[in-house]
Amino acid sequence: MLCTEFGGVNIAAPANAEPAPGRERDWGYTTAADAEDLLGRIEALMRAVVDGGVCCGFVYTQLTDIEQETNGLYTFAREEKLDAARVKRAMDEARRVYHDKLR
């Protein structure tokens, strides 16, 4: 089984940030306080998907922010919110956890 869409975590906008034109707030299912919190939430989501040993793959949604959805790993301008190497390590760990469950 594949989990073909999960994620939806955004980062809280700085207190002095103005919302984008036409929007009162940016959207995410849950809001992280900062980059460390964002990575922790993403790691927890990935772990939840693979812990059961049923899903053999997943698609994290989404790679970049789009319009009102600010739950990407990169901003709308394609700037990293998180160090890509740390995200890869988290994904590698999720893969390891899944494969360990198969043994």
* pLDDT given at position 43: 94
Could you list the residue range(s) of the whole structural domain that residue 65 is in? Answer: 2-102
13: left (phi over 0), alpha (psi -120 to 50) or beta: beta
Distances, alpha carbon 8 to alpha carbons 66, 67, 96, 99, in Å: 12, 14, 23, 25
Which amino acid belongs to residue 25? R
> Which tens digit of pLDDT belongs to each residue from 44-68?
999 988 887 788 888 988 888 887 7
C-alpha distance from residue 31 to each of 12, 18, 21, 62, 89 (Å): 6, 17, 20, 14, 22
H helix intervals, the chain: 35-51, 84-102
Segment 4-48, tens digit of pLDDT: 988 889 887 666 666 555 556 666 788 898 999 999 999 999 998
Number of separate domains in the chain? 1
The pTM of this model reads: 0.81
